[in-house]
């Protein structure tokens, strides 16, 4: 192994460790917040918030403007270019906040026919501005693999968000508790990044658009790709918000959020650490291929057992985490666990395409999905919320093969057999160990005991099976934990 590869590997493991710490810390807080607020609020509150977050997902795409990916992709960036990019980002944030305020009425009253969405949108609009204040600072730190400081900032911001939501929900139980937490997190994160993550950098009073033409050109593909991707990823909530009552949307959105948050434990690590690492290796096809296969194996080996367990023990999870008033969400959670598992497999592809400079290919792929995903989900929604969830799971599974053939294979040279094995081996380990645990705890009636005993059986069984057929992942995990 060359010295450059050795340094990149060491930096990657350090980045993974610190990003994992941040993600686990944030996820634990988010799970705690979800469990507490599910008991303090009603499904209608979560239904309203689901619509607000879906709308805000589009503004976040424009707030980034594709510039974050461009900063990571281009190796040479001057201070004046960084300053121009920063002020451009900030101006876009102000513009988006204004647009949200103007469109809040027609969106809530005319599009979704849910007037209570309007004031929530208006309050949430300020979070976009705060996001742009610290966004470039975070991206620059990520590019330099300074993940320890980012991890600390995100954990502190998550604690502030958790405390804000909890206090609001206790004093004034409403959807505003959810909004307040997000605004508190974005504002505190922006301030903390400015104070602790700039590494001496600050934007100069310099603004020349002609200096950043290549950034904007590259970022435009990322912007368009993320915009179309947001339509595809938010189509289920937007359709459900239009078709179903607010309470039904709440029953759908809470299990959906749980499934996404589980993916949020490891997938952001893959995206944020994998992107600069793959960008560094973009001219070495063999190294890039090796890195991507390891990313896939790591992602699947951690995500799959969690999602398989969530599908098997969905009823117990709903009763313990959300409470008995959410029991109707059991079947939805089971289906969305399958959706989340397959969805997690495709997550690293976006980072790969950005890293190798194939933003255009990513854009056309997402445009193709635009003609498949929303129409399919719209048709499925006519048959009920469970059919909508089932359609999501089937789509996620179906799209894995064409995703490999048209995106991963041309970019890395990875063959179909090795791509499939990087997923099938972790799935086999997960299904066998969780299936064994589920069978053995079948006689137990109490949900908490079932999960406790089931976990006590499934976890060692999973590691034992992995030691036989998935040693590559175990060795990587031991290296990660051992910190060398």
Average pLDDT, integer, range 299-308: 92
For residue 309, CA distances in Å to 78, 85, 234, 426, 432 come to: 49, 44, 25, 13, 11
User: Is the Cβ–Cβ distance between 130 and 190 less than 8 Å?
Assistant: yes
The confidence band for 276, taking pLDDT boundaries of 50, 70 and 90, is: low
Q: Can you tell me the distance from the alpha carbon of 333 to that of 349, in angstroms, rounded to the nearest whole number?
A: 25
What are the residue ranges of helices labelled H in 281-415? 285-312, 314-317, 330-355, 359-370, 373-381, 385-398, 400-403, 409-412
The mean pLDDT value of the chain amounts to 86
Classify residue 106 by its DSSP letter.
Answer: I
The confidence band for 484, taking pLDDT boundaries of 50, 70 and 90, is: very low
Average pLDDT, integer, range 439-454: 94
pLDDT at 428: 95
* Burial (CB count <10 Å: 0-12, 13-18, 19+), residue 58: middle
Instruction: Give this prediction's pTM.
Output: 0.81
User: Is the Cβ–Cβ distance between 28 and 93 less than 8 Å?
Assistant: no
Average pLDDT, integer, range 292-314: 91
Higher pLDDT, 269 or 211: 211
The fraction of the chain above a pLDDT of 90, given in percent, is 53
412 token code pair? 């890395």
Handedness of CA 186, 42, 343, 217 (dihedral sign): negative
pLDDT at 210: 80
pLDDT at 269: 63
pLDDT at 138: 87
- Assess whether pLDDT exceeds 60 at residue 425: yes
- Assess whether pLDDT exceeds 90 at residue 179: yes
- Assess whether pLDDT exceeds 70 at residue 195: yes
- Assess whether pLDDT exceeds 60 at residue 70: yes
pLDDT in tens, 349-382: 877 887 777 777 888 898 999 999 999 999 999 9
Which residue is it, tokens 């997190």? 185
432 token code pair? 């066998």
Domain that holds residue 326: 3-482
Q: How many residues does the chain have?
A: 484
The confidence band for 314, taking pLDDT boundaries of 50, 70 and 90, is: very high
Number of domains in the chain: 1
Helix 176-196 to helix 43-64 angle, to the nearest 10 degrees?
30
- Assess whether pLDDT exceeds 60 at residue 249: yes
- Assess whether pLDDT exceeds 50 at residue 40: yes
Q: Can you tell me the distance from the alpha carbon of 141 to that of 138, in angstroms, rounded to the nearest whole number?
A: 5
pLDDT in tens, 235-248: 999 999 999 999 99
pLDDT at 85: 84
The confidence band for 38, taking pLDDT boundaries of 50, 70 and 90, is: very high
pLDDT in tens, 325-346: 899 999 999 999 999 999 988 8
The confidence band for 298, taking pLDDT boundaries of 50, 70 and 90, is: confident
The confidence band for 279, taking pLDDT boundaries of 50, 70 and 90, is: low
CA angle 242, 244, 246 (to 5 degrees): 95
Higher pLDDT, 210 or 117: 117
pLDDT in tens, 377-407: 999 999 999 999 999 999 999 999 999 999 9
Strand, coil or helix: what is 407? helix
pLDDT in tens, 258-272: 998 887 776 766 655
Round to the nearest angstrom and report the end-to-end CA distance of the chain: 16
Of 299, 236, 213, 216, the residue nearest 262 (C-alpha): 299
- Assess whether pLDDT exceeds 50 at residue 56: yes
User: Lowest-pLDDT range, 31-35, 109-113, 205-209, 410-414?
Assistant: 205-209
* Per-residue b or e along 69-107, where b marks 16 or more CB atoms closer than 10 Å to that residue's CB: bbbbbeeebeeebbbbbbebbbebbeebbeebeebbeeb
Q: Can you tell me the distance from the alpha carbon of 16 to that of 347, in angstroms, rounded to the nearest whole number?
A: 16
- Assess whether pLDDT exceeds 90 at residue 13: no
Q: Can you tell me the distance from the alpha carbon of 212 to that of 207, in angstroms, rounded to the nearest whole number?
A: 10
pLDDT at 482: 59
* Burial (CB count <10 Å: 0-12, 13-18, 19+), residue 116: middle
Classify residue 209 by its DSSP letter.
Answer: G
């Amino acid at each position: 192994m060359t010295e450059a590869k050795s340094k990149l590997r060491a930096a990657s493991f350090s980045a993974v460790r610190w990003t994992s710490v941040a993600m686990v810390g944030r996820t634990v807080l988010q799970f705690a917040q979800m469990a507490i607020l599910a008991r303090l609020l009603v499904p209608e509150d979560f239904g309203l918030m689901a619509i607000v977050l879906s709308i805000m997902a589009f503004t976040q795409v424009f707030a980034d403007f594709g510039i974050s990916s461009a900063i990571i992709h281009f190796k040479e960036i001057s201070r004046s270019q960084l300053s121009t990019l920063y002020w451009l980002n900030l101006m876009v944030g102000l513009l988006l906040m204004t647009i949200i305020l103007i469109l809040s009425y027609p969106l809530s009253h005319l599009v979704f026919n849910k007037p209570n969405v309007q004031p929530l949108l208006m309050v949430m609009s300020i979070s976009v501005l705060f996001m742009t204040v610290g966004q470039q600072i975070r991206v620059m730190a990520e590019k330099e693999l300074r993940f320890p400081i980012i991890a600390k900032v995100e954990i502190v911001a998550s604690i502030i968000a958790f405390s804000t939501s909890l206090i609001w929900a206790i004093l004034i139980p409403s959807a505003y508790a959810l909004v307040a937490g997000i605004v508190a997190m974005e504002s505190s994160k922006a301030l903390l990044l400015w104070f602790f993550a700039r590494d001496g950098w600050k934007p100069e009073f310099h603004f020349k658009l002609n200096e950043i033409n290549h950034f904007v050109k590259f970022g435009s593909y990322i912007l368009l790709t993320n915009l179309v991707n947001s339509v595809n990823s938010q189509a289920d909530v937007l359709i459900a918000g239009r078709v179903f009552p607010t309470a039904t949307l709440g029953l759908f959105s809470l299990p959906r959020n749980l499934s996404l948050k589980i993916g949020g434990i490891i997938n952001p690590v893959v995206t944020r650490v994998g992107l600069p690492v793959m960008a560094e290796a973009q001219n070495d096809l063999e190294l890039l291929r090796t890195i991507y296969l390891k990313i896939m194996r790591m992602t699947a080996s951690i995500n799959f057992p969690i999602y398989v367990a969530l599908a098997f023990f969905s009823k117990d999870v709903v009763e313990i985490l959300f409470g008995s008033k959410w029991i109707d969400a059991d079947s939805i959670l089971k289906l969305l666990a399958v959706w989340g598992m397959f969805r997690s497999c495709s997550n690293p592809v976006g980072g790969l395409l950005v890293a190798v400079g194939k933003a255009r290919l990513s854009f056309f792929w997402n445009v193709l999905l635009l003609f498949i995903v929303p129409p399919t989900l719209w048709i499925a929604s006519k048959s009920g919320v469970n059919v909508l969830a089932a359609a999501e799971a089937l789509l996620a599974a179906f799209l894995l093969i064409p995703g490999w053939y048209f995106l991963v294979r041309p970019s890395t040279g990875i063959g179909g057999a090795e791509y499939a094995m990087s997923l099938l081996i972790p799935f086999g380990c997960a299904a066998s160990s969780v299936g064994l645990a589920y069978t053995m705890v079948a006689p137990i009636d109490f949900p908490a005991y079932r999960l406790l005993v089931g976990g006590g059986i499934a976890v060692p069984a999973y590691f034992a099976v992995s030691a036989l057929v998935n040693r590559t992942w175990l060795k990587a995990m031991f290296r990660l934990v051992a910190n060398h």
